[in-house]
Structure 1
Amino acid sequence: MKNYLIPVLLLSSLLSLGCAQPPLVIGQPAASTSKDEVVIYYIDRPRCNFETLAYIRVTGGYFTLESMLGKMQKQAAGVGADGLYVLHTQQLDVREYLGTAKAIRCLTT
Structure 2
Amino acid sequence: MEMPGPAGERWGHLRRQVLTSRNVRGGPVTDWLLGGLNYQIEHHLFLNMPRCHLELVQPLVREHCRSLGLPYAETGLLDSYRQGLRHMHTVGGAARPE
Class of the TM-score when normalised by the shorter of the 2 chains: under 0.3
Larger radius of gyration: 1
What TM-score, normalized by structure 1, do the two folds share? 0.24
Identify, as 1 or 2, the structure richer in strand: 1
Identify, as 1 or 2, the structure richer in helix: 2
